[in-house]
Amino acid sequence: MYQGEFATFEEYCRKRWDMTRDYAYKQIAASQVRQIVYHGIQSPTNERQARPLTKLDTPEQQREAWQKAVETAPEGRVTAHHVEKVVREMEGTKEVKKKKVPRRANVKTPREEELISEEFRDAIKLFIGVLQNARVDNWKSTSKKAIVKFLESMLFLIRDGGEND
């Protein structure tokens, strides 16, 4: 997706999504886990809930850990901390083994004009989570066509709609 417009995946993540490559990989891993654990039960609603599950070796272990986290969540509220605790219990360790992730050599901060407010970033993260859930749900409650129209409207507002302001 990024190769036509950007030189590297890192540049794509930074310029297109205002996130680091490492964070993008975490989002991708969390999305994959959400697809694995979803089978009629509540699926993780954000990357922080899914992240501890990525540390387990097999999809079966991920499903088992998620189901246990849902069933044992205090007051029915599944938190990232609770999922982490369940994963630790399954592994029989005090700390969950971390997979080795290559580190970036030069971490560049975005230029001032590339900064995004925390409120905007939170809204986009929420939107991405809802979009991923719709995808996992095979577009039953929200169609791809409707999402594309919505995104086209947003792009119009960003590119053309504000020029007369």
Please state, rounded to an integer, the average pLDDT across all residues of the chain.
76
Rounded Cα distance, 32 and 21, in Å: 17
Per-residue pLDDT reduced to its tens digit, 22-80: 888 888 888 877 777 765 567 787 888 888 888 888 888 888 888 898 889 888 888 98
Rounded Cα distance, 50 and 30, in Å: 5
pLDDT band at 101 (very low <50, low <70, confident <90, very high): very low
Rounded Cα distance, 149 and 140, in Å: 17
Lowest mean pLDDT among 30-39, 53-62, 92-101, 123-132: 92-101
State residue 94's pLDDT score. Answer: 44
Residues 6+ apart with CB under 8 A from 54: 26, 29, 30, 32, 33, 62, 99
